[in-house]
Structure formats: structure tokens, C-alpha cells
Copies of this chain bind each other. A is one copy, B any other.
Amino acid sequence: MKALVYQGPGRKALEDRPKPAIAAPTDAIVKIVKTTICGTDLHILKGDVATCTPGRILGHEGVGIVDEVGSAVTAFRPGDRVIVSCISSCGKCDYCRKGMYSHCVNGGWILGNAIDGTQAEYVRTPFADTSLHRIPAGVDEEALVMLSDILPTGFECGVLNGKVQPGSTVAIIGAGPIGLAALLTAQFFSPAEIIMVDFDENRLEVATRLGATTVINNNDGKAAEKILKMTDGRGVDTAIEAVGVPASFITCEDIVAPGGIIANIGVHGVKADLHLEKLWDRNIAITTRLVDTVTTPMLLKTLQSRKVDPRRLITHRFKLDKILEAYETFGHAAQTNALKVVVEA
């Protein structure tokens, strides 16, 4: 089968690989229908993710059709249409029992990382019963690709951790796919204001279309100042960091109101300054989270009932044999205006 393989820092190729086989009784083999590329895949390609070694098939998102199941799989059968969750959850360990699947001691984020992933014709998914989600009849499958990772990530790490509430004021720093996923799902809770901050005019335009009430281009470095002015110096109830660099985290520190929350989504490579000398008495919370995908069933219901349309995040579509082109497009988003690119297997 065709598969996109990481060959070491800076190198990838579309290779021919054997179709995966059941390795444990809880596995399923899923024939991929659609997959996509994540910012994390670009991190891997830079050599930044030590757990992912050369030879790995990338990809941790996708929808497909169950092709084969291990002997212990009871919830799925060949032919079932499924969402593949980016997080593999054994369902048995202490973390899984607490709904913290991201820290599953037997799984977690392993797909397209420690084991082969979804950017291929087939994928082996461990713990199928507790890591796949059945696709209801009549739901658009392209939209569901967004439920593997990006929508639960924006929702869990940004919106739920950030305790967005009716009438509250939210700022999202970073209008990339993750920030926009937070923007879409923040609206489930009817905040009064959602302020999006980015440097890219196109992304800010998209943000406006997707429901931002104010957009700020931070090219002048004055986003924090402007947000404080807009809020009469008080700041925002929820500040969502969706970039992963110290500067944007510090913007969050600058704009969080007393009693507010900084919800970090960004993948950080270096430390940031925490200005405790200003924050110690501000009654704030800072949260971090790797997505647990525990809300995927809830998100599926919101999607079915048309409370959210994640297809609005999709800008480009490719066939699997053009996946290198898809990577080019996604990797040069500033030029291509790419958000999520869907790859059809």
C-alpha cells in the first residue's frame, strides 16, 4: 500500500509498504478513506519529536472503514465506518478510567508517532473498542476528519479548560487551525466577545467569518494593549494560547482578567517567563493539556445537530498519491492560505 513515511529530519517520501496486520487481540485494521496533515507532523519532520523514528508512517487523524478486527474487539466489525481518534486509549489504566486518555499508560498519542499512522491506505489502530468512534448514518465524513484531533483539541484544551461561559470575554492568540477550532467550539457557550489575534490577515479574515467578534493583527506588537483598552483595563475572562511560543503565552499573561484563565493549547519547545510578581494575587488559573478526545462523542452530537460545521476549516483537498503536494501546500500556509488539507486515500 501507499504510505507517507518519515525518513529522518527534513525527509519524507510516499513509499510502498505492506498492509498492516492485527498484532494484538484489541487491534483493528482500518482502511483509510480520508486523512489530513497536522502541524505536529511538520514538527516531526523537523526532527523535533524524539519518539518518532525514521521509517514511521505519519498521520494521526482520519476516517475509514474497519477492515479486520482482533479477537478481543467487540464493538466494531469489518465494514463499520469509523473516526480514528488521535489518542489510543486502553480503557483500563488509571488514567483512562479517569478520562485522561492522553496519558494512557498503554497508548496515548502513539499513532503516527511511536507506531505507524493514518497517512496510508490502511492503519492498524490499537485498542479499537476504546479508540475508534462509529460514524452515524448521514454525517459528512470530511467534516468528521476534524474530530480525530483538531476539534477536540481546541475544545478540550482551549474552551473547556478555559471555562468559556455565556456573556464572557475570550481572546484566542493564534488563528491557525487549532485557534480556529477553539473559535468554532467556544461558540457552544455563547460568549459575548471572541477576540482573535494573529499576524496573518487571511487567517484573521477567516476568523471573522467563523465568528470572531474582533480580530487584531499583532504586527505592531500592541495586541495586549488593545485588548486591555477594549475591556476597560480589566482583561479577558479566558485567554487561549494557540501558538506555542513564549511571546504569545506572555500576551495571555498580560491580558487575563482577575479571576480569569489562561488555557494553553500550543506545543511549546522552550520555557516562558511566568510573571508571578504580577500574577500571584490575580486569582487566575493556567491550564495545560494534551487532548484526551474524551469529548469526541459530545462533539459528534454537536456536529450531527448542526451546532458546528468543521468543514469550514478545510481549504484544500488532495488524493493520497499527491500527499507530498498536500504537505507543500500545508507547509506554506502563509502563501497558500491553507488551513486543513484533506487527503483522500
* Residues of chain A whose beta carbon lies under 8 Å from any beta carbon of chain B: 25-26, 71-72, 74-75, 91-92, 94-100, 102-103, 129-130, 165-168, 185, 187-193, 213, 244, 246, 249, 258-259, 264, 266-277, 279-290, 292, 294, 297-302, 304-305, 307-308
B276 x A281 contact (CB < 8 A): no
> Are A305 and B213 in contact (CB-based, < 8 A)?
yes
| In contact, A72 and B277 (Cβ under 8 angstroms) | no
In the bound assembly, the distance between CA atoms of A94 and B297 in angstroms comes to 9
**Min CB–CB distance A186 → chain B (angstroms):** 11
* Residue of B whose beta carbon sits closest to that of A286: B286
Q: Indicate whether A285 sits within 8 Å of B285 (C-beta atoms), given known contacts A130-B92, A298-B167.
A: yes
| Complex: A302 Cα to B189 Cα, angstroms | 11
Q: In the bound complex, how far is the Cα of B298 from the Cα of A12, in angstroms?
A: 47
Are A283 and B192 closer than 8 Å at their CB atoms?
no
Partner of A280, one of B95, B264, B302, B307: B264
Majority secondary structure, A binding face: loop
Q: A91-B92, A287-B284, A290-B283 are in contact. Are A103 and B273 (CB under 8 A)?
A: no
Nearest opposing residue in chain B for A193, CB measure = B305
Q: Which residues of B contact A97 (CB under 8 A)?
A: 91, 99, 130, 294, 297
Q: What's the nearest-Cβ distance from chain B to residue A259, in Å?
A: 5
Which of B72, B185, B266 is in CB contact (< 8 Å) with A25?
B72
> From A287, which residue of chain B is reached at the shortest CB distance?
B285
Contact call B166/A307, Cβ cutoff below 8 A: yes
Q: Are B190 and A72 in contact (CB under 8 A)?
A: no
- Interchain CA distance A249-B276 in the complex, whole Å: 10
